[in-house]
Structure 1
Amino acid sequence: MTVEFTLARLLQPLTVETFLQKVWGITHYHVERDREDYFGSLFDPAAVEDVLEIVRPEPSTVTVVRENDRRSPDSYRFADGTIDLVRIRNDFADGHTIVINGVERHVPTVASLAHSLEVELNFETQVNAYITPPGSRGFLPHYDDHDVLVLQVQGSKTWHVHDDADVPPHKMRRREKVVVSDLPAPAVLRLNAGDALYLPRGRVHAATANAEPSIHLTVGIHAPTVLKLVTEALEALSYRDDRVLAQLPPRHVDDVGVRASLDDLLRDVARAIEDPAVMAEGFGALGDALVRRGRCRPVGQLVPNAVEAPRIDGRTRVVRYQPLYSRVLMMTDGVALQFAQSLVSADADHRAAMLFLSRSTEPFEVRDLPELSEAKQIELARTLVVDGFLVRL
């Protein structure tokens, strides 16, 4: 039986709502389980071998590190640019941690988890795998500029988490280094296989493998900042408001009087940002980036989908493919359902049906699509089955 990994499954028995209200961005949290096989169907040693041996990722996506000793990618790159696995394995035997970045690009189960989190939280994610030899530590105490969920897949690690040493965002942006001698005493946690650990951004931490090799995944959760939102809003505004694209005058850096002449213009632009419609465009740009990261059914389903689509009628049961982030856009000439790399457009009378589809999570019959004639219901369902948005039951 295939297990679908979601945020709820990662956090059990902690509920998602409790996590978001009392843990997220506030404190670290250790989910302890007596289940060594809990993440076995998500990622395992065989998956590590598959990625390294079969996928053969670009050397730049693989890091080999032990504390301050970080190998250059050129040291494990053949002349043709491919990865030298013998050298990587030798470094691992010598105590180095192997880091495979972006494993969601190579392992379908991890890809499904990553996108499930993106749908749930509206944040982009990236999943890295860490393979550490016994008794070794890959990194000295450090912090991440994004929130992290650590999933211990195999073996165990001892984590040192410094509660009272969080690095503020402006220092993270400056990439300030951690002064180890200034750190307070840490909380010491042992993550066993099946455990999970949440770390808010800026929390200083380090981890050491115990008596056996360790494999863990870090799910990097990249929440956009207010800076990103305002930047996107200004970018959207620039397509219709020339004030945003006004050129700065000569000597604006050196002449205080010249700079002062821009005060009225800058105040006008700042007031424009306060317009809810402008901020809505900023949110829309963030949503567009998120929806384009979506993944539909595998390409191999295209032919079966095309065969099944003509057999659809009003009583056909379908379900929306999940996880998949989607949204409904109002267009000048109608409405559109946007998902993954697709945009399915229709007349304005399809609005209620499109909203129904975007929000649906349970199976339904084609005839349940609201405010459409039977012919239009069937036509829309056929299109979305072929495009992978709907799955025929």
Structure 2
Amino acid sequence: MSPVPEAWPFPHDPQPGGRGLQDDRPALRRCVAGDLDEFANSYWGSRALLSPGPELPAPYDDLFSLEAVDELLSRRGLRTPFLRIAKNGSVVGDSQFTGPAGAGAEIADQVRDDKVAALFADGHTVVLQALHRTWPALVDFSSQLSAEAGHPVQINAYITPAESQGFSAHYDVHDVFVLQVAGEKHWTVHEPVHVDPLRNQPWTGHARAIEAAARDNKPVIDAVLRPGDALYVPRGFLHSAKALGGVSAHLTVGLHTLTRYLLVQELAALAADRAALRTALPLGFDPGDPEQLAEVLPEVVELFAQQLQAASPDALAERLRRRTWSGNRPAPLAPLAHAAAIKSLAVGTTVRLRSGLKCRLVSGDPLVLQLPDRTITFPPVTAAAIAELTSGADCKVGNLPGLDDADQLVLVRRLLTEAVLVTTTH
């Protein structure tokens, strides 16, 4: 059975002159100029792309700003690891910008705004990490983009003083959209020295090759980003940036790319179900001896090949749901307001699927609703109603198919209690 459709409301005001097209993917549209299908087919994972601000729907000041930086650093009680500070490729120790939280809070590593100010004045770059968890506009944006792209999203902000550089040439192990928020920054992007790195293959293992490539090779992108501009950098592509005449701030929107190797890993994990592959190796076996390995390897390879041939998409999908569906949290839930909504539920109340929640409805007896961390079962008679409730559309209690009003209230109350649905008033 196909996955339940998902809807991700995201406010957008189409602009005249061709801006704001293809708004069925509004978050991706804010990162990529031009045709989104062409981007998916010709650039995703393989080529860097510069998107000038005038060709995008709007600047990014609704998502983040220098004022937001000051608020986070001075009034939000941030702790490590929500902040990093670096200069010329060297990361500053946490003790240089954190300290005790003061009376009433036994916290030893809260960010000290005065220490951050001194380091920033000395040319250090401030990196605000995991803004997809701490800044409301970016919480919503990350959920939207993750839904459209199909890959988990994280968001950091880099704030660099004039004429300064936080990090030398390096590559990331995830794809990146750079969204320029304030100031100007000069970017250079080079082809990879290690194509499509996995998360356990950081750039430090190729430091010499990176240094030589950044020094000797012609960049594929050499450009100054100004507010409203966007840059796509696939994982593995070398990049570095330097602020120009004023303070520069940009968002780094990282997509934690799901790869074919992920399927290999989970297929290997499924091999634990085959008893013959769980048997012990011979007593006294030396795994570092190629000759001893040669005695057992053919049998293991044959058993593993049989396991791969027998692997079912259903079994693999179950493992992948548990591993990937929780990559981004669903939209925030206001606990007190949500509890009140459950208590006051009545015929006529409008509800919808919690934005950002991945789910899948599987027919049968019982009917199964698969969620990132659990499954919920229901009587088959509720199938049409649950399909409508999890479609992403607004649904009114009393109008759901196949159930009378009393049963609709029971069903919706259950899904509200499980945090699958929310009411549309909060």
- Asked if these proteins are the same fold (TM beyond 0.5), I'd say yes
1:41 and 2:58 are equivalent in the alignment: no
Question: Residue 381 of structure 1 aligns with which residue?
Answer: 412
Provide the identity percentage: 25
Aligned match of 1:92 in 120, 134, 147?
A: 120
Per-residue deviation at 1:45?
Answer: 2.1
User: Contact 1:325–1:340 (CA<8 Å) still a contact in 2?
Assistant: yes
User: Contact 2:51–2:230 (CA<8 Å) still a contact in 1?
Assistant: yes
1:27 and 2:61 are equivalent in the alignment: no
User: Contact 1:103–1:127 (CA<8 Å) still a contact in 2?
Assistant: yes
User: Contact 2:321–2:372 (CA<8 Å) still a contact in 1?
Assistant: no
1:307 partner letter: K
Question: Residue 273 of structure 1 aligns with which residue?
Answer: 308
1:337 and 2:369 are equivalent in the alignment: yes
Q: Distance in 2 between matches of 1:13 and 1:284?
A: 36
Q: Could you list the per-position Cα deviations for residues 297-342 of structure 1 after superposition, in whole angstroms to 9, with x for gaps in the alignment?
A: 3324223312332x125xx5433232332223568x6233244666
1:33 partner letter: G
Per-residue deviation at 1:372?
Answer: 4.5
Aligned match of 2:236 in 193, 196, 202?
A: 202
Q: Which has the higher contact order (CA 8 A, sep 6+)?
A: 2
1:304 and 2:340 are equivalent in the alignment: yes
Q: Which moved more, 1:293-302 or 1:203-212?
A: 293-302
1:288 partner letter: R
1:235 and 2:269 are equivalent in the alignment: yes
Q: Which has the higher helix share?
A: 1
Per-residue deviation at 1:371?
Answer: 4.7
Per-residue deviation at 1:232?
Answer: 2.1
Question: Residue 362 of structure 1 aligns with which residue?
Answer: 393
User: Contact 2:175–2:234 (CA<8 Å) still a contact in 1?
Assistant: yes
Question: How many pairs were matched up?
Answer: 384
Per-residue deviation at 1:117?
Answer: 2.3
Per-residue deviation at 1:384?
Answer: 2.5
Per-residue deviation at 1:144?
Answer: 0.8
Change (3 A) 1:22 1:388: same
SS in 1 for 2:343: helix
Give the superposed CA RMSD.
Answer: 2.9
1:31 partner letter: S
Question: Residue 295 of structure 2 aligns with which residue?
Answer: 260
Q: Which moved more, 1:9-18 or 1:123-132?
A: 9-18
Q: Could you list the per-position Cα deviations for residues 328-382 of structure 1 after superposition, in whole angstroms to 9, with x for gaps in the alignment?
A: 3568x62332446665431234344444444x23324445645555543332223
Question: Residue 104 of structure 2 aligns with which residue?
Answer: none
Q: Distance in 1 between matches of 2:72 and 2:88?
A: 24
Change (3 A) 1:37 1:91: farther
Q: Distance in 2 between matches of 1:113 and 1:283?
A: 27
User: Contact 2:347–2:398 (CA<8 Å) still a contact in 1?
Assistant: no
Per-residue deviation at 1:207?
Answer: 0.9
Q: Could you list the per-position Cα deviations for residues 24-46 of structure 1 after superposition, in whole angstroms to 9, with x for gaps in the alignment?
A: 11211112124897211211223
Q: Could you list the per-position Cα deviations for residues 252-282 of structure 1 after superposition, in whole angstroms to 9, with x for gaps in the alignment?
A: 42262454234223312222123351x4433
